[in-house]
Amino acid sequence: MHGTTRRRRIWCTIAFVAICVYIQIFGVATWFVVVKGRNLSDKDDPALWETPVALQNLSTSSAPGKKLSYLGYEFEVPWNDLDEQKTKLVGSWQLIVFHSGKYLIFAMLPPIASETKLSRFNGNEASDSDYEFRRAMLETTPAKIGLFTSQGEATRGISRLLMKSVDILANNGQSGIFLIENGNFRGFQYGNPDSRPHEIVDDLFADKGRLHFVFCEEKCGGISQAEINRVIQSVRPQSDATGTHN
């Protein structure tokens, strides 16, 4: 009888130690999966399950347009009806308005974070760019955090998901996230023009920050992917940093 009791105590002790070790190592992941998992289903928060995909429509509009230059960069737009009076610099953001109801917001934004913060966030000392920082965040989904995910990875994953939720909402990317690039930059497009969102956001990453484009349409016609591609494919640094247009 005493032997049975002793064995039970030994097994209880082993189980208790095992539970303590598990909580210490996998506690964050367990909390995420068990407590928060039901709040991150496809139905409740589908954006968190979205990951960037290659842009399939690479066509560019050949409509009569105009070359513009602002904030040290130049690019082409497929519209030639620039509204000179409404086009202006608002703080550090360039507002570009067209008589058709289309308008474009352009800004040169600072880096997201320092190299040290990026490396710690990604868990990879080689991840030292804003682009890699953003891509790691956008490619994280709830499925990547399981019961046996280590505490460090689970903490990073949850942080990425929280930032991803805010990022997609702020950039109106619920209808899709796409990988974009040209000869000088690479980045992401938030929103699918085929879904007719109010605005499409394109971020291109440069060495010292990122180029931020917001394409908007006041009327119901919308802005096409080919029109957006015309701008994104033509943007490049300008030797003269004056904010002029041609």
Please name the residues in contact with 153: beta carbons below 8 A apart, sequence gap of 6 or more: 29, 123, 145
Residues 210-236: tens digit of each pLDDT = 899 999 987 656 899 999 999 999 999
- pLDDT at 103 > cutoff 80: yes
Q: What is the pLDDT of residue 125?
A: 44
- pLDDT at 197 > cutoff 60: yes
Higher-scoring residue by pLDDT: 22, 202: 202
Q: What angle do CA 49, 173, 113 make, to 5 degrees?
A: 85
Q: What is the pLDDT of residue 6?
A: 60
Question: Rounded distance, CA 38 to CA 91, Å?
Answer: 42
Residues 176-193: tens digit of each pLDDT = 999 999 988 999 999 999
Q: What is the pLDDT of residue 35?
A: 43
Q: What is the pLDDT of residue 45?
A: 66
Provide the pLDDT confidence category of residue 63 given band limits of 50, 70 and 90.
very high
Please name the residues in contact with 39: beta carbons below 8 A apart, sequence gap of 6 or more: 45
Question: Rounded distance, CA 203 to CA 239, Å?
Answer: 21
- pLDDT at 198 > cutoff 50: yes
Higher-scoring residue by pLDDT: 150, 241: 150
Residues 118-144: tens digit of each pLDDT = 555 555 544 568 898 899 999 988 877
Determine which of 41-45, 77-81, 126-130, 144-148 has the lowest per-residue pLDDT on average: 41-45
- pLDDT at 59 > cutoff 80: yes
**Phi/psi of residue 56, each to 5°?**
-85, -35
Q: What is the pLDDT of residue 165?
A: 83
Q: Buried (b) or exposed (e) across 112-151, using 16+ Cβ within 10 A?
A: beeeeebbebbeeeebebbbbbbbbbbebbbeebbeebee
CB atoms within 10 A of CB 221: 11
Instruction: Of 200, 173, 202, 196, give the one whose Cα is nearest residue 50.
Output: 173
Tokens 């041609």 belong to residue = 246
Residues 139-174: tens digit of each pLDDT = 988 877 666 566 667 677 777 888 888 888 888 888
* H or E element, residue 202: strand 199-206
Q: What is the pTM of this model?
A: 0.76
Determine which of 27-36, 42-51, 161-170 has the lowest per-residue pLDDT on average: 27-36
Question: Rounded distance, CA 146 to CA 128, Å?
Answer: 27
CA 192 to chain centre: 14
